[in-house]
């Protein structure tokens, strides 16, 4: 994403709002970009930073070749700061470090620019500290908060930001992009259900970890239905060691959601919408016999609740143990 015209193809409304601000010289002191994974939050933040610091900007578009643009692209601009979750959350100490950085004047300009990734993971203390920036913004300071769920960001932060919603990409168009990059269609359909980020999808398609994740997801469902006595052993020896990071744990739950949706779709005759399984798959037919429609709806709600618990930093092992017991019950 090198220009705002390119950004507008993916996120037309967000691009229009931001470019209007740039052209009028009224860039907001704080933006809150809300959108699912892969909707372009990081790319828009980078493009905005370049537009702010570019030495040869043409209209709203950065030149991409000046010293400032190149340093922002490489992540090495001294006046552009990125804060990301340290483990499961963004901690007070990270914001304190940012505050110290802001005590010094800009090294290459009079401006400061910072991005908070995963703004919903700010601890209470960290959120209170970041409010100081938002309540008393520096004249040349721009903040960009990125989140998958703005409702999980405390209201005092939301109220001080210009909230911009990023729309999900059209899945069929994205699938065609993946096929053009050499990914077979069934895998493209699965990837498009998990992410809208082209680079991320291609990387997953080439990563043995992802293939093994899909395999373990199928194994977990089979053990729940056929060998429940082996469930906890499988969880602690196969599932949890494979899904170590929070993003991986969430992806494991996303795969389970897709699988149980397939079973439900087969129940109600929507075989054309299958993602994990294929039409006529014997495993799928057995699972349709095992789970009732009522039970499948309950499982899907339990899976969404498990995802919420992970975001609230509940122990992943406890989340999975409770979830599998609920699926069995």
**Closest by alpha carbon to 18, among 27, 9, 30?**
27
Structure confidence at residue 32 (pLDDT): 97
Structural contact between residues 138 and 8, judged by C-beta atoms closer than 8 angstroms = no
**Which residue ranges form the domains of the chain, and what is each CATH number?**
4-165 (3.40.50.300), 207-328 (1.20.272.10)
Q: For tokens 């989140």, what's the residue?
A: 147
CA distance linking residue 58 with residue 313, whole number of Å:
44
Residue 311 Cα distances to 90, 135, 244, angstroms: 12, 27, 14
Structure confidence at residue 150 (pLDDT): 86
Q: What is the largest CA-CA distance in the chain?
A: 67
Q: At what angle do helices 293-311 and 246-267 cross, to 10 degrees?
A: 170
**Closest by alpha carbon to 86, among 209, 245, 254, 239?**
245
Cβ neighbours of 138 (radius 10 Å): 14
Residues of the chain scoring pLDDT < 50: none
Q: What are phi and psi of 108, to 5 degrees?
A: -120, -5
Structure confidence at residue 285 (pLDDT): 92
Structural contact between residues 241 and 209, judged by C-beta atoms closer than 8 angstroms = no
Cβ neighbours of 99 (radius 10 Å): 13
Structure confidence at residue 108 (pLDDT): 62
């Amino acid at each position: 994403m090198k220009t705002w015209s390119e950004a507008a193809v993916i996120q037309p409304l967000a691009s229009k709002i931001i470019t209007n601000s740039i052209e009028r010289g009224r860039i907001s002191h704080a933006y809150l970009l809300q959108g699912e994974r892969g909707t372009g939050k990081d790319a828009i933040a980078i493009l905005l930073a370049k537009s702010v610091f570019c030495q040869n900007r043409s209209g709203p578009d950065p030149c991409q070749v000046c010293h400032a643009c190149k340093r922002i692209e490489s992540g090495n601009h001294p006046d552009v700061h990125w804060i990301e979750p340290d483990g499961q959350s963004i901690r007070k100490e990270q914001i304190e470090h940012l505050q110290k950085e802001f005590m010094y004047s800009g090294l290459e300009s009079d401006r400061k620019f910072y991005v908070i990734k995963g703004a919903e993971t700010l601890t209470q203390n960290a959120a209170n500290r970041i409010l100081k920036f938002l309540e008393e913004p520096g004249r040349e300071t721009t903040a960009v908060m990125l989140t998958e769920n703005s409702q999980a960001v405390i209201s005092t932060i939301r109220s001080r930001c210009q909230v911009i919603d990023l729309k999900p990409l059209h899945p069929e168009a994205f699938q065609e992009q993946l096929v053009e990059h050499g990914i077979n269609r069934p895998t493209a359909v699965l990837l498009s259900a998990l992410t809208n980020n082209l680079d991320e999808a291609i990387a997953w398609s080439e990563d043995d970890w992802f293939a093994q994740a899909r395999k373990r997801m199928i194994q977990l469902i089979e053990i729940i239905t056929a060998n429940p006595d082996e469930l906890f052993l499988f969880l602690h020896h196969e599932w949890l060691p494979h899904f170590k990071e929070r993003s991986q744990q969430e992806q494991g739950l996303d795969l389970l959601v897709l699988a149980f949706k397939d079973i439900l779709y087969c129940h109600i005759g929507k075989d054309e919408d299958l993602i994990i399984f294929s039409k006529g798959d014997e495993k799928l037919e057995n699972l349709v016999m095992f789970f009732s429609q009522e039970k499948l709806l309950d499982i899907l709600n339990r899976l969404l609740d498990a995802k919420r618990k992970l975001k609230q930093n509940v122990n992943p092992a406890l989340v999975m143990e409770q979830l599998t017991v609920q699926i069995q019950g």
